[in-house]
């Protein structure tokens, strides 16, 4: 695990690169939920990274949640751009994936659809919404949501969002599960198999 820190030592991100193997990586940008941490973002897929050769990059939001949730794209986008430039310079990458949980899932969808010429796929675990500024390309999308989610209820979130994405022409794999505001192990596995299949 590689920590990225700012000039004053503040945590900017965590990264993980599987050892060994040949050829380029699939880079997954992982965005934590509101009030969360880079470590929580990284942990979304860390147990599956080695088996599927996933290069993970988990930024820390500059505030308690991502800038788009509060006032529109700003300091978090700049931080993510800088982190991506650093990772691209250090590792061979052939695909970029945006992923996240809760507010991080909403942010991943918004960034991924806005930057679909760079982002090939989006993993959205329990998203609330998608608010791309504009859309480019057609990234594939995986969405999961718990039927008993009390934080972001499935009826007003994913059950509205997924048909909207279908209507806009996106290929969406949607997985509902019995549970709350969480990402069960079997959903993580399904998402990664969908991503790498």
Q: Domains of the chain, with CATH numbers?
A: 2-196 (3.40.50.1820)
Any idea which residue has 């549970």 for tokens? 179
**Number of neighbours of residue 92 by Cβ within 10 angstroms:** 11
> What mean pLDDT do residues 179-192 have?
98
Token pair for residue 135?
A: 């859309």
- Classify residue 196 by its DSSP letter: H
Secondary structure element (H or E) that encloses residue 114, with its range: helix 103-114
pLDDT in tens, 31-41: 999 999 999 99
Position 4 scores a pLDDT of 83
pTM of the predicted protein model = 0.95
Is 32 in contact with 58 (CB distance < 8 Å)?
A: yes
What is the rounded distance in angstroms from the CA atom of residue 153 to the CA atom of residue 151?
Answer: 6
Name the residue among 11, 117, 12, 99 with its Cα closest to residue 55. Answer: 99
Name the residue among 54, 73, 59 with its Cα closest to residue 4. Answer: 59
pLDDT in tens, 91-121: 999 999 999 999 999 999 999 999 999 999 9
What is the rounded distance in angstroms from the CA atom of residue 125 to the CA atom of residue 68?
Answer: 17
Position 78 scores a pLDDT of 93
Q: What is the dihedral of CA 84, 31, 114, 126, to 10 degrees?
A: 160
> What mean pLDDT do residues 148-170 have?
97
What is the rounded distance in angstroms from the CA atom of residue 49 to the CA atom of residue 119?
Answer: 18
Write the DSSP string, 54-91: EEEEEEPPSSSS-HHHHTSSSHHHHHHHHHHHHHHHHS
Say whether pLDDT at 69 is over 80: no
Token pair for residue 133?
A: 């500024």
């Amino acid at each position: 695990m590689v920590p990225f820190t700012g000039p004053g030592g503040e945590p900017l991100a965590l990264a993980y690169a599987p050892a060994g193997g040949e050829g380029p990586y699939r880079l997954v940008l992982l965005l934590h939920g509101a009030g969360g941490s880079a470590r929580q973002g990284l942990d979304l897929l860390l147990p599956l990274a080695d088996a599927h050769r996933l290069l993970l990059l988990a930024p820390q939001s500059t505030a308690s949640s991502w800038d788009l949730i509060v006032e529109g794209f700003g300091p978090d986008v700049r931080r993510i751009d800088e982190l991506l430039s650093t990772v691209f310079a250090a590792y061979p990458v052939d695909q970029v994936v945006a992923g996240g949980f809760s507010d991080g899932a909403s942010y991943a969808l918004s960034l991924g659809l806005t930057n679909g010429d760079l982002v090939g796929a989006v993993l959205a675990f329990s998203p609330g919404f998608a608010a791309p500024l504009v859309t480019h390309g057609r990234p594939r999308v995986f969405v999961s949501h718990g039927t008993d989610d009390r934080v972001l209820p499935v009826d007003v979130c994913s059950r509205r969002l997924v048909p909207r994405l279908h209507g806009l022409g996106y290929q969406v794999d949607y997985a509902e599960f019995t549970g709350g505001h969480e990402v069960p192990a079997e959903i993580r596995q399904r998402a990664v198999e969908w991503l790498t299949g």
